[in-house]
Amino acid sequence: MRPVTKTPARIVETGGRIHFGTFDTPFTKANLLDAPLYALPAPRFWKNFRLKEWQHYGVITPSHYFGMVIFDAKFTALSFFYLYDRQSKTRLEYARQIFPGKAVRVAADMYDDLCRFDAEGYRLRFENALGRGRHTLVVDIRGGASRPAVRGEITVFEDLDVFAPLVQVSPITPRRPFYTHKAAVPAAGLVQVGSREIVLRRTDCVALIDEQKTYYPYRSFWKWATAAGFSPDGKLWGFNLCRNLIADDEDANENCFWMDGRLVPLKAARFEFGDVMKPWRVKTTDGRLEVLFEPLGERAGKVNTAGIIRSDFHQPFGIYSGRFAGGGAVGQTFSNLFGLAEHHVTRY
């Protein structure tokens, strides 16, 4: 198992040295704009343009799933909010894409900073307060003829003394860092969809956090699988698995299993699937985790601008089952964990 080390003050030191590895807490200064990026010096505005940043939350309740993102690609910004009713098996989606500016912000850090996306009839805010052990998600979306208004506030309880996050800095190249912070933690709140109120209780609701700041190359891809829920005895379990363009991914990865707040880093993940709406199989090369994913629905989107900018995005959601072997003990099986998967091919 790869080591988890104490988080340094910043990702990039003076002189351009980058701290790669798995760390115990999110960075208070994720200063990726100080990374060298190329062999020759690059202007800061260009490095900022190449840096892709987002915060994504998936909130799982016994009756619903809420997925939401604020994504700044620098040449464009987009956001979506969707909810899936697990009982009626119906989905509502709201999305906006706008030119970046004052209406869009991705927080510099998770400790005391704000993400926001403000468009006509669509307002999404992520108020990060990791120093106080929580994040607040505020949704205010105007309704229309075919879709109800959505308003709500969800508190995500990321207490670092209780729930260990996955914090990873990996080398796309020795000068080009990939930074992500992920966690599976309790959530509570209230979401109003039209005249219906959906109450989220901390005892049975989970939030999957996905923060990312990365210098993706022009052509990129990733495959992602994640889920969380409560075991029969009330413990919070979850996992995160990903395969992307990092070739040497045995240790330079974001793969882990969470057991009641404890983080277990894993080796490389390997995905098997064809049609994204048919079952996926994912396993780690150390043999410690293998999962089966059965999709129930999908959020998808395609962009192709003159063959220059391309995004082919598929995010199915559904049910996971599997087996985890922890610490030499007898393997533990799990089933009926709600989560999502993703297959994304990009050119930007």
Q: Please write the tens of the pLDDT for every residue from 301-327.
A: 776 665 667 778 899 999 999 999 976
Whole-angstrom distance, CA of residue 342 vs CA of residue 316 = 6
Structure confidence by residue, pLDDT tens digits, 57-113: 999 999 999 999 999 999 899 999 999 999 999 999 999 999 888 899 999 999 999
Q: Give the dihedral sign, CA 195/200/206/209.
A: positive
Q: What are phi and psi of 48, to 5 degrees?
A: -65, -40
pLDDT at 55: 98
Mean predicted lDDT score pLDDT of the chain: 94
How many whole angstroms separate alpha carbon 281 and alpha carbon 291? 6
Transcribe 100-144 into DSSP letters: -STTEE--S-SSSEEEEEEETTEEEEEEEEGGGTEEEEEEEE---
CA neighbours within 13 Å on the CB side: how many for 275? 6
Tell me: the pLDDT tens digits for 120-129?
A: 999 999 999 9
- pLDDT higher than threshold 60 for residue 330: no
- List, in order, residues 6 or more apart from 169 with CB less than 8 Å away: 11, 18, 19, 20, 21, 23, 177, 178, 179
Picking from 33, 290, 289, 65, the residue whose alpha carbon sits closest to that of residue 175 is 33
Helix (H) or strand (E) holding 258: strand 256-259
Average pLDDT over residues 42-56: 95
Higher pLDDT, 344 or 142: 142
Residue 86 CA, distance from chain mean position:
21
Amino acid identity, position 310: R
Q: Which two tokens stand for residue 41?
A: 């010096």
Nearest to 198 by CA among 129, 158, 139: 139
- The pair of structure tokens assigned to 105 is 């912000």
Count of CB atoms situated within 10 Å of the CB of 242? 23
pLDDT band at 220 (very low <50, low <70, confident <90, very high): confident
For residue 241, what pLDDT is reported?
Answer: 98
Q: What is the pLDDT of residues 250-278, one digit of tens each?
A: 999 999 999 999 999 999 999 999 999 99
